Structure 1
Amino acid sequence: MRRRLLAAALAPVLALTGCGLKPASAFIPHIEPAGIRPIPDLKDATIRVTSKEFTEQIILGKIAVLALTAAGANAVDHTNVQGSVTARKSITSGDNDLAWEYTGTGWITYLGQENPIPDPQKQFEAVRDLDMKRNHIAWLAPPAPLNNTYAMAVTTANQKRFGLTDLSDMVKVPAGQRTFCVDPEFFARNDGLRGMLKAYGLSYGSSVPATNVRQMSSGVVYNATSSGKCTFGEVFTTDGRIQALHLHVLGDSKHFFPNYNPAITVRDSVLRAHPELTGLFAKISPRLTTTVMRNLNSKVDVNGDDPVLVARDWMREQGLVK
């Protein structure tokens, strides 16, 4: 999906390591089967797993590697590839076999569709059907319920002061205090700041003066919002810094932002050879909620833990491995 880099301007007390900045090794810790049992038809099958380079993707990639290992496959760890397009091409070209991908990214970035579908299940079905038709890439059901999309966050103080729970409440804030911290990409893209304002009855340049919008790197936005430099800050809904900085994510009642639910994508030829993959990952996907993923991301980005150990410990907690 979108690349996220943490900036040095974040509060040092958080000891952040950075989304995707901490190298992810191919080390696979020892595990034993538990809820995930060995699958005879996967025994010794070589399946190459890739991921993008930011924290969430690395954790998800490690979960896939560990799941395949517990099931008896020879999982090859090719996670931590720079950029969505590079990771995707490694799947379509046959250099890798399997990766978690986001429905919004598949629909908009890879399949070139301009209008996202508000209903998450219908969005999944649409991207699944079109990607199979065009590229012979299978999307395994069910997608995870976590939604790593754009959002606006506010401090507890501002939430209480202005009565903010949803983006529709932005109009409650006096124009002079209706300030936004955003990164340049969010400022420029169609599904970014101006589109969001329009959807909720505001207009950039009038009800939101240009001077009220401050552009900065994505990592700086979180700290700037937390410290009160802006009333509203652009965030990603599963980012661990939300809870670390005690920010509150506003609802999106008009469903303006696209759905970014992750699901396992795999080349059709690999799935036909190993149809057991669907059942294997169906044990995992439903457990990955936005809150769960935010907690896992926080363990890496705030606490500095190793992504593969975070993935292993979560799978142990879930009874999937031991």
Structure 2
Amino acid sequence: MKSYHKTISVIVLLAVVLVFGLAGCGKDTEQTVRIATKPMTEQLILGEMLAMLIEENTGLKAEIIKGIGGGTSNIHPALVKGEFDMYPEYTGTGWSFVLKKEGIPGDGELFAELTKEYREQYDLEWVGMYGFNNTFGLVVRKDIAALHGIETYSDLAPYTKDLVFGAEYDFYEREDGYDALCAAYGFNFSKAVDLDIGLKYPAINSRQIDAMNIFTTDGQLSVSDVVMLQDDKNFYQTYYCGTVVRRDTLEKHPGLREALMLMDNIINEADMARLNYEVEGAQRDERTVAREYLRSKGMIK
């Protein structure tokens, strides 16, 4: 009988430990926010920045789920379901891909409608816009720009007859690609070259081509002998980046909104290109790069 009572006592004790243990695990989970990122260098950097600012300014832990395949197509539905709490997203992607909108209004009108429909349709908010626009851009060799005083796409047009243009295959096939761009600005390049995306910067740096399409936060921009021109007719849609976050996550965690707003307007295109290069070109760890940048802004210890 004594052995029986001892066994029961042990079972009860283990049950109590298990219950409190599970309760503790639940509490830890409630104090952790999950940040998803797309499989892009700048998203990995931004995810680290968000995590650091959250942990520095709230009592929360931040878990980063890095480089999710499919990007928005997989992250957005998972966010709506509650599998993630937040992720960095681009206004153009939200407008065209998530909301399936046609036509591109001005930035102010677009953002007002975008944020309204995200709240109403998905119970999501955009909190903190980082400051950079990662969209298509156009660059020309620096010596050519200096010779002719070229600053805008329109400035470039009269000289294209003597210049060679380079782009990856997809750019020539897009509806908003080469043909549409040339029609909008009156470009008439002497030659258009199809290049692998990884060969474009070597080609322009070695003067095999004179102008090419880019993304405005390409890491190689910060170390290449090129000038990025101003899209003076606003041909390309803007893709400003900010944090999309679940509203119930914001309500559950006082102070989280303020922590996310610390990211507001802290990074321009040149900064983002340089940070991307630090990871891609200099082979540095994205967490180290993110930490150094936030420290340089006096935002973390």
TM over 0.5: yes
Q: Per the alignment, in what secondary structure is the counterpart of residue 66 of structure 2?
A: strand
2:213 maps to 1:225: no
Instruction: State the distance in 2 between where 1:315 and 1:174 align.
Output: 41
CA distance in 1, matches of 2:93, 2:77: 14
Q: 1:74 to 1:235 in 2, by over 3 A?
A: same
Check conservation: 1:154, 1:226, Cα contact below 8 A: no
Partner AA of 2:66 in structure 1: T
1:258 aligns with 2:241: no
The answer on 1:77 being equivalent to 2:56 is: no
Equivalence for 2:75? 87
Q: How many residues align structurally?
A: 272
Q: CA deviation at 1:304?
A: 1.0
Report the counterpart of residue 28 of structure 1 in structure 2: none
Q: Which amino acid aligns with 2:173?
A: A
Q: State the Cα distance separating 1:303 from its structure 2 match.
A: 1.2
Deviation at 1:60, TM superposition (A): 0.5
* In structure 1, distance between residues paired with 2:35 and 2:251: 17
Structure 2 alignment gaps of length 5 or more: 1-27
Of 163, 169, 190 in structure 2, the residue corresponding to residue 178 of structure 1 is 163
Contact kept, 8 Å, 2:54 with 2:260, in 1: the verdict is no
2:12 maps to what in 1? Answer: none
How far is the alpha carbon of 1:88 from its aligned partner?
A: 2.5
AA in 2 matched with 1:257: Y
Residue 15 of structure 1: aligned partner: none
Aligned amino acid, residue 292 of structure 1: D
TM superposition shift of 1:69:
1.5
Q: CA 1:276–1:234 in structure 2 vs 1: closer, same or farther (change >3 Å)?
A: same
Distance 1:66 1:225 in 2: 37
Distance between the aligned counterparts of 2:176 and 2:74, measured in 1?
23
Amino acid at match of 2:89: E
- SS of residue paired to 1:253: coil
Q: Considering fraction of residues, name the structure with more helix.
A: 2
Q: Which residue of 2 aligns with 1:113?
A: 101
Counterpart residue identity of residue 185, structure 1:
D
Counterpart selection for 1:149 from 129, 135, 145: 135
Q: Does structure 2 conserve the Cα–Cα contact (< 8 Å) formed by 1:153 and 1:250?
A: yes
Q: How far does the alpha carbon of each residue in 1:170-193 deviate from its partner, in whole angstroms, 9 at most, with x for none? A: 322152x33221122222222222
Name the residue aligned to 2:247: 268
1:190 paired residue among 175, 178, 195: 175
**Compared with structure 1, are the counterparts of its residues 44 and 94 closer, same or farther at alpha carbon in structure 2 (3 Å cutoff)?**
closer
Counterpart of 1:293, as a letter, is M
CA contact (8 A) 1:44 1:74 kept: no
Aligned counterparts of 2:67 and 2:49: Cα–Cα separation in 1: 13
Unmatched 5+ residue regions in structure 1? Answer: 1-41
Between the aligned residues of both structures, percent identity stands at 26
* 1:274–1:217 CA distance, 2 compared to 1 (3 A): farther
Whether the aligned pair in 2 keeps the contact of 1:138 and 1:271 (CA below 8 Å) is no
**Is the deviation greater in 106-115 or in 48-57?**
106-115
SS for the counterpart of 2:101 is coil
Q: Does 1:125 align with 2:104?
A: no
Distance 2:61 2:166 in 1: 45
CA distance in 1, matches of 2:64, 2:109: 31
State the match for 1:158 in structure 2.
Answer: 144
Q: 2:261 aligns with which of 269, 277, 282?
A: 282
Q: State the AA in 2 paired with 1:247.
A: V
Q: Match of 1:215?
A: 194
2:224 is aligned with what amino acid?
L
The change in CA–CA distance for 1:191 and 1:297 in structure 2 (over 3 A counts) is same
Residue identity opposite 1:251 in structure 2: Q
- The Cα shift of 1:44 comes to 6.5
Given the alignment of the two structures, is residue 102 of structure 1 paired with residue 81 of structure 2, yes or no?
Answer: no
- Distance in 1 of aligned mates of 2:106 and 2:177: 16
Please say if residues 167 and 250 of structure 1, whose CA atoms lie closer than 8 Å, have aligned partners that are also in contact: yes
Residues 113 and 208 (structure 1), Cα distance of their counterparts in 2 relative to 1, 3 Å cut: farther
TM superposition shift of 1:123: 2.6
Once residues 88 and 214 of structure 1 are traced to their aligned partners in structure 2, the CA distance between those partners, rounded to angstroms, is 36
Cα distance in 1, alignment partners of residues 289 and 160 from structure 2: 43
2:186 alignment partner in structure 1? 201
Q: TM-score, normalised by structure 2?
A: 0.84
> Cα–Cα, structure 1 residues 268 and 217, in superposed 2: closer, same or farther, change >3 Å?
farther
Report the alpha carbon displacement of residue 96 of structure 1 after superposing the two structures with TM: 0.9
3-state SS, counterpart of residue 285 of structure 1: coil
**How far did residue 57 of structure 1 move?**
0.7
The change in CA–CA distance for 1:130 and 1:315 in structure 2 (over 3 A counts) is: same
